[in-house]
Amino acid sequence: MVTVAVVGPTSHMGQNLIKAILASTHQLVVLSRSARPELVAQGVPVHVVKYDDHALLAQALQGVDVLLSCIWAIDAHVSSHLALLAACKEAGVKRFAPSEWAVPVYDTITPYAPKRTVWEACLGSGLECTRFQCGVWTNILGYGAPHDAAGALSGYDGPPFAVQVDKRRARLALDGSGKVVFTRLQDVAAFVVKALDLPTWDADTYIVGDCVSFKDVVAMAEEVTGETFEVTYSSKEEIEAGINSNDFFTMFLAQFEKAIAGGELEFGVGPNGGKKSLDKVFPEVKAWTVREFLQKHFAK
């Protein structure tokens, strides 16, 4: 049993990690910038902190073994993580996981670039650090699910991407054949809890729920729903135009399309290939495939 601090309790990942840790034998502590009475009511110690108050952060982390960060603020991502690292070192925290929860595609996906600076600081911190890499959250497909809508999203409230199952439409990068790692938020959290018991952490920790193309997702969704989807394709020129857009989400999603087309979201063959993933280390944790997700939430 270890004491685990989660920072960013209201984020998609934070919500799921908290549920999974509460269901385990580990002790949970939450650091938040605002009061969380709903967690206090469950007996969870909640420390209201400020990232620019080193003494307050270090005090909140006393007795903590592992810190899991789930915060992502583009403007303050680096400064907040550097503050957390400094507080961890003073408080004697042994393990630190920065807010990654995707893939380290720092060049193609420019809003992720600050994560590189954070990771370099992690490597020089003296703490045992890992980047949890899980690809795309399967829950992005969950909007409008007729069955267990809350479970389908599991806290995800970001933009829909590529395939909108409820709308029966899809927009795919190039020919849609680029493979992507998909993992449900709930399954990521389950594997992270398992990883807390590992004697050592690798620098990169992979989690693979499934690995399929968005073209495959469309085919499965059509089979499950019994309906034909309206499918369009983004050309290379359209993707580049999106990347140059002044609209943040247009740019962000276009960069994701470029990363998918370039094989950067596939752990098996792409630049992250050959790594051992937690789904292989802990086969008793059964991650949902994309097909299972669609069947459970969208089957008629």
Give 174-214 pLDDT, tens digit per residue: 999 999 999 999 999 999 999 999 999 999 999 999 999 99
**What is the per-residue pLDDT across 154-185, written as a single tens digit (0 to 9) for each?**
999 998 999 999 999 999 999 999 999 999 99
Q: pLDDT value at position 178?
A: 95
Q: pLDDT value at position 272?
A: 55
Q: Given pLDDT bands bounded at 50, 70 and 90, which one contains residue 265?
A: very high
Average pLDDT, the chain: 95
Q: pLDDT value at position 218?
A: 98
**Helix, strand, or coil (residue 3):** strand
**Helix, strand, or coil (residue 84):** helix
Architecture of domain 3-129: 3-Layer(aba) Sandwich (3.40)
pLDDT over 90 (residue 268): no
Q: Given pLDDT bands bounded at 50, 70 and 90, which one contains residue 239?
A: very high
**Burial class of residue 126 in the structure, from the number of CB atoms within 10 Å of its CB (0-12 exposed, 13-18 middle, 19+ buried):** exposed
Q: pLDDT value at position 271?
A: 54
C-alpha 14/C-alpha 140 separation (Å) is 16
Q: Given pLDDT bands bounded at 50, 70 and 90, which one contains residue 275?
A: low
Q: Please, which residues bridge with residue 30 across strands?
A: 6, 46
C-alpha 62/C-alpha 5 separation (Å) is 10
Q: Please, which residues bridge with residue 179 across strands?
A: 213
Q: pLDDT value at position 75?
A: 81
C-alpha 251/C-alpha 142 separation (Å) is 22
- Higher-pLDDT residue of 198 and 75 is 198
Q: pLDDT value at position 42?
A: 95
DSSP string, 218-247: HHHHHHHHT---EEEEE-HHHHHHHHT-SS
Which regions of 58-203 does DSSP assign to beta strands (E)? 66-69, 95-97, 128-129, 131-133, 136-137, 163-164, 169-173, 179-183
Cβ atoms of 108 and 258 closer than 8 Å: yes
Joined tokens for residue 186: 């709930």
C-alpha 156/C-alpha 142 separation (Å) is 9
Q: Given pLDDT bands bounded at 50, 70 and 90, which one contains residue 104?
A: confident
Joined tokens for residue 240: 């580049």
Q: pLDDT value at position 103?
A: 87
Region 41-59 average pLDDT: 96
Cβ atoms of 61 and 93 closer than 8 Å: yes
Please state the separation of Cα 139 from the chain's center in Å: 10
Phi-psi category of residue 63: left, alpha or beta, with phi > 0 → left and psi -120 to 50 → alpha: left
Extents of the domains making up the chain = 3-129, 136-182+209-271+283-298
pLDDT over 80 (residue 256): yes
Please report how many Cα atoms fall inside a 13 Å half-sphere around the Cα of residue 292, on the Cβ side.
Answer: 11
> Given 3.40.50.11900, 3.40.640.10, 3.90.1150.10, 3.90.25.10, which CATH number is that of 136-182+209-271+283-298?
3.90.25.10
Radius of gyration for the chain, computed over Cα atoms and rounded to the nearest angstrom: 19
Angle ∠(179,156,28) on CA atoms, nearest 5: 110
pTM reported for the whole predicted model: 0.95
With a pLDDT cut of 70, the percent of the chain lying above it is 97
pLDDT over 90 (residue 217): yes
**What is the per-residue pLDDT across 110-136, written as a single tens digit (0 to 9) for each?**
999 999 999 999 999 999 999 999 999
Q: Given pLDDT bands bounded at 50, 70 and 90, which one contains residue 273?
A: low
**Burial class of residue 60 in the structure, from the number of CB atoms within 10 Å of its CB (0-12 exposed, 13-18 middle, 19+ buried):** buried
